[in-house]
Each structure stands twice: as structure tokens, then as C-alpha cells.
Amino acid sequence: MIQQRIKLYQGSINPCSYLDDREAVNIYADPHHPNPRAVYNQLIKRGFRRSGEYVYRPGCTGCSACIPVRILCDEFRMRRTDRRNCKRNQDLKVDFREACYTDEYFQLYQRYLAARHPDGGMDDPDPEDFERFLLNPWGETLFVDIRLERQVIAVAVTDATADGLSAVYTFFDPEHADRGLGRFSIMQQIELCKAIKLPYLYLGYWVDGCQKMQYKTDFQPQEHFDGHQWQEVLTAERKAGE
């Protein structure tokens, strides 16, 4: 595959949202590249991530805590907790749909943000916010549509790339938080990768020391990107052959 030349831009310095008492800066890909789909595939493989219309990677000086992670889908095997999660959610119906705005999705998004991010600047979105944040100008995006009977209770947003899916965001009905829908949606994306013969599910960044990111280490086997190449990382359990 021909490598595309990409202009990169450095953002401003802000407080780190993952680790206390640190500052962070992001490197952004040029959003006006003439071949955004080819560029997006290339960027995801180089440890970038999409947030809304922006594709970025951390560019912090003196800190490399944000580690890009991808799951080796063909080798993934559910743990006991994963099997319990699937059993708990066996009454749900899962479909994969082209990403789009609907009033139903938007109302679920509103409820999720109001419950999870009150007074955080995201808790009163309008339809344009929904489309700008979740739909993808860089390529193809799918919604993992999860329903209880006929009511949508969760949506996982995932981007299709040349060698995998890239998990972008998940929102769900706060009344069903006890179902573990975030983990359930990751497993659905892994199964889709297997079904369409894509080797990887990209999970964004794992940050050692950030509790809200620790769940990403549960999905094994996985590879981490060190800035030059992807390398498989073995947990203590896998080293012991468990």
C-alpha cells in the first residue's frame, strides 16, 4: 500500500484528562487531506485515534503513558466474566448498521451524557453535536445497535479500517448500567471482526495509573504500539498458560 504524506499540527497545552498534575498536548492530522480514507487507515495503524472530526495522538513531552492498544480478534477467548456478561445479555438483539442520525439515537445519547457527564460541557448536546462527534468524515462508520425488545438501549460507534475496526465511543441507557453494556459492545465488535475476517479491534489508549482505562487490559491477547511497531503484550495469566 502506498503511504500517503500527511500534514500534522500540534494542539495547545491543556491539563491531562487521565493523570492528575500533568499537562497534555495532542498532535492532529490535517482534516483537509484529499484522500482521507487512505490517510485514516494509515493513521490508525500508527497509533492515532478519532474523536469527532479530529484524528489525533498524544504528543506530550516527557510522558508516554498513553499506549495504543489493539486486540488480536482471532485469538480472543472469553473469560468467565465475559461469559457471564453474555449470559446476562442474552435477551438483547444486536445489529450492525450504517452510522446515521435518528431521533431515537439522539435521545439515548442525551440521556447518557446527562447521567455520565453532568455539568461537564457535554450534557446538553444538540443534533449537530451528535453528528459532529459520532459520524466520521474520514471513512466508514458503523453503529452496533443493541436493543431490548424493540427499544435501543446501547450504541457502540466503530470505524471500519483496512485491517480492523476502531472503537470510537459507546453510549447506553443509564437505567441498564448494571448489564455491563460497554464490555458487551466490545465483544460484539470482536465477533464482527472475526466474521468479516479483520484481524484487529483498535481500542484507543490504555493509560497505566488511570482507573477508568484499566478495563482495556481485560481483552487478551493484545498488542501495544511503541511508536515504531506493534508488539504483543502478555499478561501474567497468559505467561502462566492459564
Residue with cell 446538553: 124
pLDDT, one tens digit per residue, over 94-153 is 999 999 999 999 999 999 999 987 665 566 789 999 999 999 889 899 999 999 999 999
Q: What is the pLDDT of residue 76?
A: 96
The three-state secondary structure class of 62 is coil
pLDDT band, residue 240 (cuts 50/70/90):
very low
Could you tell me the domains of the chain? 73-204 (3.40.630.30)
Q: Is omega for the bond preceding 221 within 30 degrees of 0, making it cis? A: yes
Q: Flag whether pLDDT at 67 surpasses 60.
A: yes
- The stretch 61-83 carries a mean pLDDT of 95
Distance CA 42, CA 87 (A): 37
Please give the grid coordinates belonging to residue 107: 435521545
| Residues whose CB falls within 8 Å of the CB of residue 45, separated by 6 or more in sequence, listed in order | 161, 162, 163
pLDDT, one tens digit per residue, over 156-212 is 999 999 999 999 999 999 999 999 999 999 999 999 999 999 999 999 999 988 998
Helix-, strand-, coil-residue percentages of the chain, each rounded to 5: 30, 30, 35
Position 231, amino acid: Q
Q: What is the dihedral of CA 215, 73, 156, 213, to 10 degrees?
A: 20
β-strand pairing of 26-29 with 66-72: unpaired
- What pTM value is reported for the model? 0.92
Report the candidate in 189, 180, 197 with the shortest Cα–Cα distance to residue 70. Answer: 189
Distances (CA, A) of 189 to 8, 24, 84, 193, 195: 30, 30, 17, 6, 10
